[in-house]
Structure formats: structure tokens, C-alpha cells
Amino acid sequence: MRRSFLFCWSSLLGIAVMLAGVNAHATTVIDTLERIEKTGTLRVGYGDTAPFSYEDQQGNVVGYSIDICQRLAQRLATQLRLPSLDIVYVPRTPSNRVQLLNSGDIDIECNASTNTQERRQSAQFALSHFFVSVRYVALKTSDFTTLEDLAGRSVSVARGTVNVSQINQVNRERQLNLSVVPVETLQEAFDLVADGRVAAFAMDDILLSTMIAESDHPDAYALSEEAISKTEPLGFMVRLGDNDFAEHVNGALKEIYTSSEMPLIYQRWFQQPLPGKGITLNVAMSDALAEHFIAPHNVPLD
């Protein structure tokens, strides 16, 4: 009996030690600066979300966010006294971006993630590089302009975006009786509207404007007049707890945002033809963003 008890106790102890080791490994913070110095590479996550990040016709990763992150890499190399810092581009989706950060597959997500209180539980945000409002796109023939116009209808959203919780919240608050249809990608969500399978697709207004402009029939769509959300900041995400890296990133971004080249970067992606897209957004820099670039701060708007 005593031998059996000791065996059971030692087995339980061994399992506890093993689980503790697994848990410790899972919560170990990756020292990005140390890894950058050793490898000379920065792992950048990008998406299929023009004008922020996308692949052009030659397969090059380009975009507004990418331009900024390329300059960020140059400044990090200077800060760390490296001869150079190569960028490794890693594709990510709205649903796996935080997972790729935590696993170390990417060091920074250079796209356009909304900086919200809920999302800051999973990742740190660098200084914002754009501000958006969330609206919906619908077929122009539907003549939908307000949220009440969607009452009792279906709305698509992309999984992993804050738009899922936003549309669910407004659905409850206004008792709209919406049917929310989550899908994996932005294009899938847009295609559901194009095919008439849902009434609308809720997303950041600038991304919807881009998707409308590059669709086969831009005149067939209309953005809602009513916004689903207040103005929200977009930013680059880095790992929670990776504070030294985040500090270096924000220091470099301050230099970039306050430099004379920042207005030129903006103009290239929002007021000139998009490479490989054949469209021009013609979106002027908002007063809020212009003021932010004069004195960048890390105070989210929620």
C-alpha cells in the first residue's frame, strides 16, 4: 500500500513539474532585440489590405504600412549599431495575427489593426499611423444608408476583426435583429454583398473604399452615411511584454512621423495611383492624423 501511494505521488509530482515547464515555456517572452542582433532580420507580418499592405503584380510586399516599417527597420539598425537589418515578410490573416506574434513567427504586424482596449489584452500597440471609422458597404440599388435600414437583414464580418464585436454590440443596443455572418477573409465578406447573399459588409471605411474602387463595378456599391463606430486609431502590433522592443519601435516611429518625408509617404498611398491596383483613393490626410504626426502620442481613443 505504501509503495503504491509513493508511486502515485511521484507520478503526480512528475506530471505537475512537466505541466509547469510547459506553462513556463508558453509564457516565455521572446527578446526581439536580442534575436534581431543575432539574426540581422526583422520578421514583419503583412496582409492583403491595400493601401496598408499587399503584394503587387511582381509579388513584392508594398503599402503605406510597409513603407513606414521599411524606414523603421533602417532606424532600428542604426539604434542597434547593425550594418543592416533585413526584413522577412510573413503573410498573416485577421484571425491568426496575434497567434503569429506570440509564437515568434512575426516580430511586428505592419498592417492596420485597430487599437482597442480588448485587443491590448493580447498585444502591445505602437504609435498610431492612421485613424478610421467603421461603416458598411451595400449594393447601391438597396438604398441602405443608416443602421436602421439593415434591421432584420444579414451583415458579413471578417473573423478576428473588432468589427465582429462592434456589429454585435450595435445589434443588441438598437435591437436590429441582424443576422451576423462571420467569414475568414475581407474579400469573402465583400463577395457575399456582391453576390446578394448578405445585405451589407461592416469594416473600416478606408478599406471598404479601396475594395469598392478595385471591384469590377465600383458604381454598384455605396458606403453607409452612418458610422458604426467613432473614430478609432490603427497601429502596428508587437508582443505583450516585449517592452524594450516596443520602446525602440516607438522611438523610431516618432522620428518618422515628425519627419518631412511623412506627408510624402501618405500622398504616395492615398493620393496617387496604387501600384498594381490601377486605382487612386484620393483621400486627404485628416486634421486628426496631421495633428498626431506633429506630436505623436500613445493614448488610444477608447
Backbone angles phi, psi at 138, to 5 degrees: -145, 165
- CA–CA distances in Å: residue 53 to residues 58, 69, 229: 14, 10, 23
Is the model's pLDDT at 299 over the cut of 80?
Answer: no
pLDDT tens-digit series, residues 163-215 = 999 999 999 999 999 999 999 999 999 999 999 999 999 999 999 999 999 99
Q: At 140, is the secondary structure helix, strand, or coil?
A: helix
Which triple of cell numbers denotes residue 112? 492596420
Strands (E) across 100-204 are located at 108-114, 123-125, 130-132, 134-139, 154-158, 179-183, 200-204
| Residue 258 Cα distances to 244, 251, 254, 273, 291, angstroms | 22, 11, 6, 24, 10
CA–CA distance from 196 to each of 135, 142, 168 (Å)? 18, 10, 21
Q: Comparing 20-29, 109-118, 168-177, 262-271, which segment has the lowest mean pLDDT? A: 20-29
Over residues 144-164, mean pLDDT: 95
pTM here is 0.82
Q: What pLDDT is recorded for position 301?
A: 52
- Identify the residue whose cell numbers are 473573423: 159
What value does the mean pLDDT take over residues 22-38? 72
Give CA–CA dist 47/55, Å, rounded.
Answer: 9
pLDDT at residue 7 tops 60: no
Q: Among residues of the chain, what percentage have pLDDT more than 70?
A: 89
3-state secondary structure of 104: coil
CA distance 181 to 208: 17
pLDDT of residue 12: 43
**pLDDT value at position 268?**
98
Other Cβ atoms less than 10 A from the Cβ of 156: the count is 27
pLDDT, the chain, mean: 90
Q: What is the pLDDT of residues 226-281, one digit of tens each?
A: 999 888 999 999 999 999 999 999 999 999 999 999 999 999 999 999 999 989 99
- Tabulate helix, strand, coil % of the chain (nearest 5): 45, 20, 35
Query: Is 70 exceeded by the pLDDT of residue 300?
Result: no
Q: Does the pLDDT at position 26 exceed 60?
A: no
- Contact call for residues 150 and 174 (beta carbons, < 8 A): no
Q: Rounded to whole angstroms, how far apart are CA atoms 222 and 82?
A: 49
Q: What angle do CA 147, 149, 151 make, to 5 degrees?
A: 80
Residue 1: per-residue pLDDT:
45
What is the per-residue pLDDT for 24?
38
**pLDDT over 90 for what percent of the chain?**
83
Q: What is the pLDDT of residue 28?
A: 57
Residue range 278-295: mean pLDDT, rounded? 94
